[in-house]
């Protein structure tokens, strides 16, 4: 089977000015990231804010040029494709459907825009496709006439999904698609995304900070910390037997609805990860509860973990 997304040794650096007189600083947002997502599967990417997961998404979408490394989407290099071809291949769904929908256009017009931009669809064809996809995501024709402000959060996210799918792409990058929604609506949207994937044979890269959500939707999970993937494995294996201490802490932090268990002591100090100041050795060592001397000066190498995962830790 061909990989829908293939990422190799991907790196992204930003230059930031920290002050008027101080020298320019390099922030490595994504560092040596390699993975592939088989067609029809879902790779979940988890990590805290600032870990580089959205930067990774933007590079895969072709919105940001990597400093080094390659991205192949459906076997093609994104930067060899023009914008129209790229739009037919891969589409995003973002977190905040209010910020990502033009407030001055009707839902119907917003969903039609990707088709119009292609310049190859007739008016009748556009109307037919927009009607079809709106119905598919559960929005009535009457909803299509409304403006984004007249829709609830869940309906707006349905509209954003319709816009992403109207060109029938193969791959969808979902960046925190349900984080801004209420739980009952989140469940509706997750179920819709699952149905669409099955029916249309889509591949998702699913970015979320919510591990319970990722466990529900993803077939494989990658855990990011300060720009690197520190552990990756099949979802069941990763949740059953997390190897990296950071993955373990993330899993322990999930507050399941089980009364009487209290809030766990996850043993992290108040040192916060700072992408502008990545510590030497293992980048997780200042917060790690089992770090030893070696972790403070020697970066761990990637080790293979069955069934098809990897972990970067001296002690895993």
Partner 1 sequence: MSALLEVEELQVTFGGRTAAVRGASFRVEKGETHCLVGESGCGKSVTALAVMSLLARGGHRSAKRMSFAGTDLTSLSDREMARLRGNRMAMIFQEPMTSLNPAFTIGSQMAEVLTRHKGGSRAAALDRAAELMGRVGITAPGMRLGQFPHQLSGGLRQRVMIAMALMCDPELLIADEPTTALDVTVQAQILRLLATLKREFGLSILLITHDLGIVARVADHVSVMYAGEVVERATTAELFRAPQHPYTRGLLSCVPVPGRVQRDRPLGSIPGVVPAIGSGFTGCAFRSRCAHADETCAHAIPRRQAGNAHDYLCRLEPDWAELQPA
Q: Which residues would be at the binding site for partner 1 (CB under 8 A)?
A: 48-49, 152-155, 182-188, 190-191, 194-195, 209-213, 215-217, 219, 235, 239, 249-266, 268, 270, 272
In the chain, % helix, strand, coil (3-state, to 5) comes to 35, 25, 40
Closest distance of CB 5 from partner 1, Å: 20
89 versus 161: smaller Cβ distance to partner 1 = 161
142 versus 183: smaller Cβ distance to partner 1 = 183
Provide CB contacts within 8 A for 67, sequence distance 6+.
11, 12, 13
Closest distance of CB 75 from partner 1, Å: 27
Closest distance of CB 200 from partner 1, Å: 17
Residue 314 burial class via C-beta count within 10 angstroms: exposed 0-12, middle 13-18, buried 19 and up: middle
What residues are paired with 72 via a beta bridge?
A: 6, 77
Residue pair 303/310 in contact by the 8 Å Cβ criterion: yes
Closest distance of CB 266 from partner 1, Å: 5
Closest distance of CB 223 from partner 1, Å: 12
63 versus 254: smaller Cβ distance to partner 1 = 254
Provide CB contacts within 8 A for 103, sequence distance 6+.
147, 148, 149
Closest distance of CB 28 from partner 1, Å: 19
Residue pair 282/295 in contact by the 8 Å Cβ criterion: yes
Provide CB contacts within 8 A for 307, sequence distance 6+.
233, 234, 237
108 versus 197: smaller Cβ distance to partner 1 = 197
20 versus 304: smaller Cβ distance to partner 1 = 20
40 versus 69: smaller Cβ distance to partner 1 = 40
Exposure of 140 in the CB half-sphere (CA atoms within 13 A): 4
């Amino acid at each position: 089977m061909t990989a829908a997304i293939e990422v190799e040794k991907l790196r992204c650096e930003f230059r930031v000015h920290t002050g008027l007189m101080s020298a320019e600083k390099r922030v490595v947002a994504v560092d040596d990231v390699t993975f592939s997502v088989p067609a029809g599967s879902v790779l979940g990417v988890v990590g805290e804010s600032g870990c580089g997961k959205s930067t990774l998404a933007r590079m895969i979408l072709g919105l940001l040029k990597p400093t080094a490394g390659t991205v192949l989407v459906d076997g093609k290099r994104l930067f060899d494709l023009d914008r129209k071809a790229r739009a037919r291949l891969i589409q995003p769904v973002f977190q905040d459907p209010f910020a990502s929908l033009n407030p001055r256009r009707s839902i119907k017009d917003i969903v039609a825009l990707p088709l119009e931009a292609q310049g190859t669809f007739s008016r009748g064809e556009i109307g037919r496709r927009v009607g079809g996809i709106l119905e598919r995501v559960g929005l009535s024709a009457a909803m299509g006439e409304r403006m984004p402000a007249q829709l609830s959060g869940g309906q707006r996210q349905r509209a954003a999904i319709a816009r992403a799918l109207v060109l029938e792409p193969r791959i969808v990058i979902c960046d925190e698609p349900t984080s801004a929604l209420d739980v009952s609506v989140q469940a509706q949207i997750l179920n819709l995304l699952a149905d669409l994937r099955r029916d249309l044979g889509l591949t998702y890269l699913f970015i979320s900070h919510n591990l319970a959500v990722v466990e529900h939707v993803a077939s494989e999970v990658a855990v990011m910390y300060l720009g690197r993937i520190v552990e990756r494995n099949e979802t069941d294996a990763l949740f059953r037997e997390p190897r990296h201490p950071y993955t373990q802490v993330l899993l322990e932090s999930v507050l399941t609805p089980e009364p009487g268990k209290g809030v766990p002591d996850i043993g992290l100090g108040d040192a916060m990860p700072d992408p502008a100041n990545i510590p030497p050795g293992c980048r997780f060592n200042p917060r790690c509860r089992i770090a030893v001397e070696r972790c403070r000066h020697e970066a761990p190498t990637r080790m293979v973990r069955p069934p098809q995962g990897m972990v970067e830790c001296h002690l895993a």
